[in-house]
Amino acid sequence: MAEGSAGAATAPPRSFIPHGGGVDPERRRGRTGTAGAALVGAVAVVVLAGPWLEPLFGLAAFGAWRTLLVAIVMQGVPFLLLGTVVSAAIGAFVPARVFSRVLPRNPVLAVPVAGAAGVVLPGCECASVPVAGSLMRRGVAPAAALTFLLAAPAVNPVVLVATAIAFPGRPEMVAARFGASLVTSVVMGWLWIRWGREEWLRLPAARAEHAPGTGRLEAFRRGLQHDFLEAGGFLVVGAMAAATFNVLVPPSVLEAFSGSPWLGVLVAAALAVLLSVCSEADAFVASSFTGFSPTARLAFMVVGPMVDMKLIALQSGAFGRPFAVRFCAATFVVAILCSALVGGVLL
């Protein structure tokens, strides 16, 4: 049943099914943060040992790969840190009920407001999933919460400033990213109102915002530590893949993509899903794909914060696999279409 009444915004639908099975979320998040820290440490060792490894194994291309990797990571880390600081601060100091109070009760009107809220309430895509679940548990219309889930990591000031630095002298790229991302998130919210069904969406059981005896500063510290290590791991993976792509893929292959605008857009969008780079740093990875057209690189930056491997897994765990499959597939298509439309006009 689609959302059609204002009353749907005041209380979670009765058919939502809480679930509490599976792996303990805190334990899973701890393992993910540990894995991210281990990955970052391993890559740091490889990078530092590069001058000795290159002549030892005769890897002529290793030096170029290492240089690209360091450049992408060093450009992205400051923005990644800033984004995770803001995200952790929101999670620790801003009660979720604040959002439900400022949103219109009519879901159709709440959707664009929730999209605009992403501009002033930044957060990484990893944090947006639990925030969206918390909003829905507190009575925010699912369409508005899902719009915020898509918009917050894509149109916030940290991401836009990072995009401006990654594409110097290209303000049209920043405007195109903002426009395509915001339109995609709002369209997906309205599509959920029209065609979304309650039985597709399940919510996790209600939980305390902070563990008993844990102060807000401690919650902020833990959130910052977890988010930075986890997102840093994804940044390193994306940077490694981007560096490998630039070193190993011949220019002739990229020329084939650039010769076919739609094929280049589709390939860039697929790379965004597979590389799973954090939104605060993906602009630096996109700028390194010099063989792709501007519209294709725009598609990479629009699709990535909304649909990637880590988000599919997070949404499946938080809202159920039936929801994740449908919502991510629809978002992927809408994001590509909006990127092509906005890119065709502005780029």
pLDDT at 52: 61
- Average pLDDT, whole number, for the chain? 76
| pLDDT at residue number 314 | 75
- Is pLDDT above 60 for 254? yes
**Tokens matching residue 224:** 């910052």
Q: Distance between the two ends of the chain, CA-based, in angstroms? A: 39
d(CA 271, CA 334): 16
The predicted structure's pLDDT at residue 343: 93
Q: Please say whether the beta carbons of 186 and 152 come within 8 A.
A: no
Higher pLDDT, 197 or 80: 197
pLDDT more than 70, % of the chain: 68
Read off the pLDDT of residues 288-323 as tens digits, 9 standing for 90 and up. Answer: 888 788 999 999 999 999 998 778 877 887 788 889
Mean pLDDT of 155-171: 91
Greater model confidence, 252 or 163 = 163
Task: Return d(Cα 333, Cα 339) in angstroms, integer.
Answer: 10
Per the listing, tokens 């919460």 go with 145
pLDDT higher than 50, residue 232: yes
Integer angstrom CA distances of residue 250 from 61, 137, 245, 256, 274: 13, 50, 9, 10, 20
Q: What is the pLDDT at residue 339?
A: 96
Residue 342 and residue 298 in contact, taking contact as beta carbons nearer than 8 Å = yes
> What pLDDT, on the 0 to 100 scale, is given for residue 28?
47
* Confidence band, pLDDT 50/70/90 cuts, at residue 88: confident
**pLDDT value, residue 31:** 52
- Residue 211 identity: A
Question: Which H or E element spans position 39?
Answer: helix 25-48
**Mean pLDDT value across residues 141-162:** 90
Q: Given a cut of 90, is residue 242 above it in pLDDT?
A: no
Taking Cα atoms as reference points, which of 154, 161, 232, 227 lies closest to residue 186?
154
| pLDDT computed for residue 264 by the predictor | 86
pLDDT at site 21: 40
Q: What is the pLDDT of residue 17?
A: 36
Mean pLDDT to the nearest integer, 201-212? 57
Q: Which of 32-36, 137-141, 230-234, 264-268 has the lowest mean pLDDT?
A: 32-36
Would you state the pLDDT for residue 18? Answer: 38
Residue 20's alpha-carbon distances to 51, 122, 321, in angstroms, are: 50, 28, 15
pTM, two decimals, is 0.70
Per DSSP, the residues of 48-108 read HTHHHHHHHHT-TTHHHHHHHHHHHHHHHHHHHHHHHHHHHHHHHHS-THHHHHHS-SSHH
Q: Which parts of the chain are beta strand (E)?
A: none
- Is there a contact between 192 and 7 (Cβ–Cβ < 8 Å)? no
**Is the pLDDT score of 145 beyond 70?**
yes
Collect contacts of 28-34 with beta carbons under 8 A, ≥24 apart: 28/317, 29/226, 29/230, 30/226, 32/226, 32/230, 32/233, 33/225, 33/226, 33/229, 33/230, 34/229
Q: Given this model, what pLDDT does residue 229 score?
A: 74
Average pLDDT of the segment spanning 160-189:
95
Query: How does pLDDT run across 39-49, given as a tens digit for each residue?
Result: 556 666 666 66
Average confidence (pLDDT) over 246-254: 70
Q: Among 153-157, 192-196, 209-213, whose mean pLDDT is lowest? A: 209-213
Model pLDDT, residue 275: 78
Label residue 329 left, alpha or beta by phi (over 0 means left) and psi (-120 to 50 means alpha): alpha
Distances in Å between the alpha carbon of 263 and those of 123, 256, 266, 295, 340?
Answer: 31, 9, 5, 11, 11
